[in-house]
């Protein structure tokens, strides 16, 4: 799939109550991010190069150097200015006296309509009104490449600028259907509460902006700090003993980059049950041979420590081959066994290891339910925020209910490595299955992880995940996007039973998995009930009119 160059512009302004940023809502029938609130932006157009002669503050060489590319930098910046004008009606341009453009609103609206209709180009307009495009008013903030999977992929440069004075934002009613000026903090809070859909890169950008109260401080920061690089180069790796190339977005990409920073092609791009993998100082992963639809390549067991003193996280199922291999690797010197939760693919091996080594068991008591390991009996039940000492460093305990009410994550200090169990999985979203699964608690637990300093996530199933906060943002956005579909289904088809609603709220998944989807739908409905938005009577769900 072609990855198209694109640009996004976060426009900011100062108000009496602090700095605000402009967000536009995309149409609900858009192919990419329907209904989401975004910054103005879009693909670099072939006509954008016509504006080079009308640009000031940067030529292509200096703009490209600023962006860290060999050529085409000015095109990204011009595209950001043009898209902002087309979508939001705000034009960053200077008149012949080098002052911000002060054209009459009627002229700006007429010219914008001509641009959107393809009857004019931005270069045509600038030439007619003797305008220049001040590229130096844009500060480069970040770089984002759309992951594989969506119908369109973009290599997007994010810029920030101060909104032009004396102009009024107006969404175009073509690609965008609403606009709003919000403080970055309020936008993030709206996202957390599900009031607005925001994509991962938008959330990440808003977090940067939320550190500033005024535009001058923000622009000074953006101009003085190089943007955080987001690596998107293929990486050498190995599979089945043969050299391969691991593409960005591939499941193993973050792991092979971490384990092979010198690009020697030594890291494996496959998870092989029974083969230990050294992930960091004193940290190994051993995957059980229980691969399946719900477990991916198998349950990951993590070994922390050194000869004579090992801590095991998630011993996995009662698989004798796997458990005996754990004993062989550690020479039986296991002092403690930690579990993230008591689902039967994670904790049953704990009893065997305690009997074989005398290790103490750490975790929360199992709740009721057929999927639970009812035999797990912890010697210690840690509380949220507790510390557990291991030979590899201190672990911070994080209570993260949602997938399971007794779910815990463990954060390894020094390496900023989060052992996430099933709270975050590699390659898929986790199942939230009521009554023990709780969607509202799950989203709150995800939000809580954003307060922690996490470099990598070591999940219960799959490879290491980098860019931890971006992963959390993606999962939150995914769940909130589904909630909006559930609300739409209730609005158009309620009161309705679960069986009827799943046909509409999950019309984008195969009918064969609607049975599983109905459990997730129920979790969303129960959250909406807790929020006071939905109600159920005689097994029929409906919106509550507010």
Asked if 239 and 233 count as a contact pair (C-beta separation under 8 A), the reply is: no
Lowest mean pLDDT among 157-161, 166-170, 239-243, 473-477: 473-477
- Which residue from 462, 479, 464, 457 is spatially nearest to 523, judged by alpha carbons? 479
Q: pLDDT tens digit string along 402-437?
A: 999 999 999 999 999 999 999 999 877 888 999 999
Region 180-208: what's the mean pLDDT? 90
Distance in angstroms (rounded) separating the CA atoms of residues 409 and 395? 9
- Sequence-distant (6+) residues with CB within 8 A of 99 are none
Q: pLDDT tens digit string along 491-502?
A: 999 899 999 999
Q: pLDDT tens digit string along 363-385?
A: 999 999 989 999 999 999 999 99
What is the reported pLDDT for 508?
A: 82
Lowest mean pLDDT among 120-124, 341-345, 507-511: 507-511
Distance in angstroms (rounded) separating the CA atoms of residues 204 and 207? 5
What is the reported pLDDT for 228?
A: 57
Residue 118: pLDDT over 60: yes
Q: What is the mean pLDDT of the chain?
A: 91
Distance in angstroms (rounded) separating the CA atoms of residues 493 and 487? 10
What is the reported pLDDT for 230?
A: 52
Region 15-27: what's the mean pLDDT? 95
Residue 542: pLDDT over 60: yes
Q: pLDDT tens digit string along 303-318?
A: 999 999 999 999 999 9
Lowest mean pLDDT among 165-174, 300-309, 321-330: 165-174
Phi and psi (nearest 5°) for 326?
Answer: -60, -40
Residue 176: pLDDT over 70: yes
Distance in angstroms (rounded) separating the CA atoms of residues 442 and 409? 13
Distance in angstroms (rounded) separating the CA atoms of residues 249 and 235? 11
Q: How sure is the predictor about 229, in pLDDT bands with cuts at 50, 70 and 90? A: low
- Sequence-distant (6+) residues with CB within 8 A of 8 are 38, 39, 40, 41, 80, 83, 156, 157, 158, 159, 201
Residue 469: pLDDT over 70: yes
Residue 148: pLDDT over 70: no
As a three-state string, the secondary structure of 428-494 is CCCCCCCCCCCHHHHHHHHHHHCCCCCCEEEECCCCCECCHHHHHHHHHHHHHHHHHHHHHHHHHHC
Distance in angstroms (rounded) separating the CA atoms of residues 474 and 274? 31
Residue 150: pLDDT over 70: no
- Which residue from 501, 494, 492, 397 is spatially nearest to 28, judged by alpha carbons? 492
Distance in angstroms (rounded) separating the CA atoms of residues 198 and 186? 12
For residue 497, give the 3-state DSSP assignment. Answer: coil
| More confident call, 147 vs 441 | 441
Q: Does domain 477-543 have CATH number 3.40.350.10?
A: no
Asked if 457 and 471 count as a contact pair (C-beta separation under 8 A), the reply is: yes
| pTM, two decimal places | 0.79
Residue 211: pLDDT over 70: yes
Is 272-466's fold the same as 477-543's?
no
Residue 30: pLDDT over 80: no
What is the reported pLDDT for 437?
A: 95
Phi and psi (nearest 5°) for 531?
Answer: -75, -5
Tokens 């109600």, located at residue: 535
Asked if 437 and 402 count as a contact pair (C-beta separation under 8 A), the reply is: yes
Tokens 């799939």, located at residue: 1
Residue 20: pLDDT over 60: yes
Q: In this structure, which topology does domain 272-466 adopt according to CATH?
A: Metallo-beta-lactamase; Chain A (3.60.15)
Residue 21 gets the label, from left (phi > 0), alpha (psi -120 to 50) or beta, of beta
For residue 137, give the 3-state DSSP assignment. Answer: helix
Q: How sure is the predictor about 183, in pLDDT bands with cuts at 50, 70 and 90? A: very high
Q: How sure is the predictor about 460, in pLDDT bands with cuts at 50, 70 and 90? A: very high
What is the reported pLDDT for 354?
A: 97
Distance in angstroms (rounded) separating the CA atoms of residues 119 and 113? 9
Q: pLDDT tens digit string along 516-530?
A: 889 999 999 999 999
| More confident call, 224 vs 312 | 312
For residue 340, give the 3-state DSSP assignment. Answer: coil
What is the CATH code for 3-224? 3.90.79.10
Distance in angstroms (rounded) separating the CA atoms of residues 474 and 198? 9
Cα diameter, the chain: 84
What is the reported pLDDT for 232?
A: 63
Using a pLDDT cut of 90, give the percent of the chain over it.
69
Distance in angstroms (rounded) separating the CA atoms of residues 225 and 392? 34
| Angle, helices 105-116/122-129, rounded to nearest 10 degrees | 150
Residue 333: pLDDT over 70: yes
Domain residue extents for the chain: 3-224, 233-270, 272-466, 477-543
What is the reported pLDDT for 225?
A: 74
Asked if 161 and 79 count as a contact pair (C-beta separation under 8 A), the reply is: no
For residue 252, give the 3-state DSSP assignment. Answer: coil
What is the reported pLDDT for 336?
A: 98
Q: pLDDT tens digit string along 122-147?
A: 999 999 999 999 999 999 988 877 65
Show the tokens assigned to 169.
């934002």
- Which residue from 520, 390, 479, 473 is spatially nearest to 147, judged by alpha carbons? 473
């Amino acid at each position: 799939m072609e990855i198209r160059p694109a640009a996004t512009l976060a426009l900011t302004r100062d108000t009496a109550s602090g700095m605000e940023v402009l967000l536009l809502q995309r149409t609900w029938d858009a192919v990419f991010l329907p209904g989401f609130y975004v910054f103005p932006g879009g693909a670099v157009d072939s006509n954008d190069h016509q504006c080079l002669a009308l640009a000031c503050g940067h030529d292509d060489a200096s703009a490209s150097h600023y962006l860290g590319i060999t050529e085409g930098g000015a095109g990204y910046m011009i595209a950001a200015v043009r898209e902002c004008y087309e979508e939001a009606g705000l034009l960053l341009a200077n008149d012949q006296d080098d002052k911000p453009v002060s054209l009459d609103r009627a002229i700006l609206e007429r010219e914008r309509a001509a641009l959107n209709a393809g009857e004019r180009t931005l270069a045509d307009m600038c030439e007619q009104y003797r305008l220049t495009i001040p590229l130096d008013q844009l500060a480069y903030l970040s770089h984002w490449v759309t992951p594989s999977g969506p119908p369109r992929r973009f290599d997007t440069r994010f810029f920030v600028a101060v909104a032009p004075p004396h102009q009024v934002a107006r969404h175009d009613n073509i690609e965008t259907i609403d606009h709003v000026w919000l403080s970055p903090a309020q936008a993030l809070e709206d996202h957390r509460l599900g009031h607005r859909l925001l994509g991962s890169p938008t959330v990440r950008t808003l977090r940067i902006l939320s550190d500033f109260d005024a535009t001058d401080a923000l622009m000074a920061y953006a101009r003085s700090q190089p943007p955080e690089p987001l690596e998107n180069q293929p990486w050498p790796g190995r599979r089945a003993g043969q050299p391969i190339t691991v593409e960005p977005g591939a499941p193993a990409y973050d792991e092979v980059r971490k384990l092979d920073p010198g690009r020697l092609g030594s890291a494996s791009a496959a998870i092989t049950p029974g083969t230990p993998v050294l992930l960091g100082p004193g940290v190994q992963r051993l995957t059980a041979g229980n691969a399946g639809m719900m477990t991916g390549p198998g349950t990951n067991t993590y070994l922390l420590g050194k000869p004579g003193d090992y801590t095991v996280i998630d011993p996995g199922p009662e698989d004798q081959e796997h458990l005996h291999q754990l004993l062989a690797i550690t020479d039986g010197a296991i002092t403690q066994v930690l579990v993230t939760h008591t689902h039967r693919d994670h904790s049953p091996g704990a009893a065997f290891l305690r009997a074989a080594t005398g290790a103490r068991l750490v975790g929360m008591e199992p709740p009721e339910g057929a999927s639970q390991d009812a035999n797990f009996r912890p010697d210690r039940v840690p509380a949220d925020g507790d510390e557990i000492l291991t030979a590899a460093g201190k672990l911070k305990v994080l209570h993260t209910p949602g997938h399971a009410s007794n779910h815990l994550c463990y954060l390894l200090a020094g390496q900023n490595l989060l052992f996430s169990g099933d709270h975050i999985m590699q390659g898929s979203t986790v199942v939230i299955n009521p009554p023990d699964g709780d969607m509202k608690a799950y989203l709150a637990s995800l939000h809580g992880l954003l307060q922690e300093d996490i470099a990598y996530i070591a999940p219960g199933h799959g490879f290491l995940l980098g860019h931890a906060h971006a992963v959390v943002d993606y999962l939150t956005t995914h769940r909130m996007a589904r909630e909006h579909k559930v609300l739409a289904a209730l609005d158009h088809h309620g009161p309705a039973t679960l069986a009827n609603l799943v046909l509409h709220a999950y019309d984008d998944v195969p009918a064969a998995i609607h049975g599983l989807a109905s459990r997730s739908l129920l979790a969303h409905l129960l959250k909406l009930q807790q929020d006071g938005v939905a109600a159920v009577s005689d097994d029929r769900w409906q919106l509550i009119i507010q």
